[in-house]
Amino acid sequence: MTDGLIKPHGSDTLNPLYVSDDQKRKELLKEAESLPSIVISSAAAANAVMLASGYFNPLKGFMNLAESISVAEKMQLPSGLFWPVPIVNVVKDASAIKGAKRIALRDPNVEGNPALAIQDVKSIEEISADQLKSMTEKIFGTLDPKHPGVAAFNSAGNILISGPIQVLNYSYFITDFPETFRTAVQIRDIFLKNGWKKVVAFQTRNPMHRAHEELVRMSMEAVGADGAVIHMLLGKLKGGDIPADVRDASIRKMVELYFEPNTVEITGYGFDMLYAGPREALLHAIFRQNMGATHLIVGRDHAGVGDYYGPFDAQTIFDQIPKGALELDIVRADHTVWCNKCQNIVMMRDCPHDKEDYLMLSGTKVREMLGKGEALPPEFARPEVAKELMEYYQSLEK
């Protein structure tokens, strides 16, 4: 790229797979009506949206079995390209497209299952039980069916449809989140417009409390960033997680009131959470590099769930990948909390005080308080953010 921003992963220029030419897209949508078609899984649809947006650069489509196994086992494609998680289109039954060389992929998340993409079918392969088990263990570090990522990965099916895709729309993300959903191409344009070269990305699937707010601020200062981008997941989560529109509203309120103007951009991406901990942190780094960020904040138990991963596994995995695999750097963050003795938000590793001096509220306790209409402590959450969340939780009680 000659725009002065960090280079995308694996290529000099970004290669989004969305068909941006209106006439060509119209022709492909018409062609899709006559092609053999299949309704794909939510995870595959999210992969298509990420490919469309340029986030999964330089991939041209869905991986085949050999590529998926190589990525799961070695974190690289047979070509040598570093990649931490298989990007696949897996279905339970492919009989509707048997023998087809070109197919329409239908969206499971939009009413009427409209065509999301057209795929050139290079192969249709069956994943054996042993291969699925091995890949699951490598990607998620566990075979426990209670792990939401493992459950989703193992229930999608075992028929793998590989080949390049042309993506015709961004699913429900543009209509549901018009102010927030942005492609990697659009985010690079925002950075250029802002004159930002050094940018810190903050990943979130939750509302941001004061500790998160301070973490973004600390990270910007630590690397001398021109700006920060809060990049929130807008796709499918596990039950009990806060919906994206509620998170979005509370984060916007926090940035508007508590950050200097023009220092933070709020954006989102269309992907379903994997909860794959360390492997997912690496994937997060790839697509943040593709959107032009130079740094990604990786905190405690980044992209984790339950106690499947150690608190810093998602940081140490960056020490285990080949040198030069990524151009982006990470900001290694510890747990940030309010310390009653410091009378400030601190990173635990930098604070001389003990756990009993910290204000620590579990997610369950926070949800309980908000559901009862109890104010969260101002040291924990900004009152304006707490108000947005309280309204949501109280609406659930009715």
Each residue's pLDDT tens digit in the chain (398 positions)?
447 899 999 999 999 999 999 999 999 999 999 999 999 999 999 999 999 999 999 999 999 999 999 999 999 999 999 999 999 999 999 999 999 999 999 999 999 999 999 999 999 999 999 999 999 999 999 999 999 999 999 999 999 999 999 999 999 999 999 999 999 999 999 999 999 999 999 999 888 989 899 999 999 999 999 999 999 999 987 777 788 888 999 999 999 999 999 999 999 999 999 999 999 999 999 999 999 999 999 998 999 999 999 999 999 999 999 999 999 999 999 888 899 999 999 999 999 999 999 998 776 788 788 888 888 999 999 999 999 999 998 888 76
Two tokens, residue 86: 């298989």
What letter does residue 17 receive in the DSSP assignment? -
Helix (H/G/I), strand (E/B), else coil: 369: helix
Catalytic annotation present for 182: no
Q: Strand 336-339 relative to strand 358-359: parallel, antiparallel, unpaired?
A: antiparallel
Active-site option among 106, 182, 188, 205: 205
Catalytic annotation present for 188: no
HEC per residue, 256-309: HHHCCCCCEEEEEECCCCCCCCHHHHHHHHHHHHHCCCCEEEECCCCCCCCCCC
d(CA 148, CA 142): 11
d(CA 32, CA 21): 16
Size of the chain in residues: 398
Q: Using alpha carbons only, give the angle 235, 217, 8 rounded to the nearest 5 degrees.
A: 55
pTM of structure:
0.94
Q: Inter-axis angle of helices 244-258 and 383-397, to 10 degrees? A: 160
List of domains in the chain = 22-174 (3.10.400.10), 178-397 (3.40.50.620)
Beta strands in the chain (DSSP E): 37-39, 61-62, 90-91, 102-106, 115-120, 123-126, 159-167, 199-204, 227-233, 264-269, 295-298, 329-332, 336-339, 344-347, 358-359
Q: Strand 159-167 relative to strand 123-126: parallel, antiparallel, unpaired?
A: antiparallel
Active-site option among 15, 206, 252, 367: 206
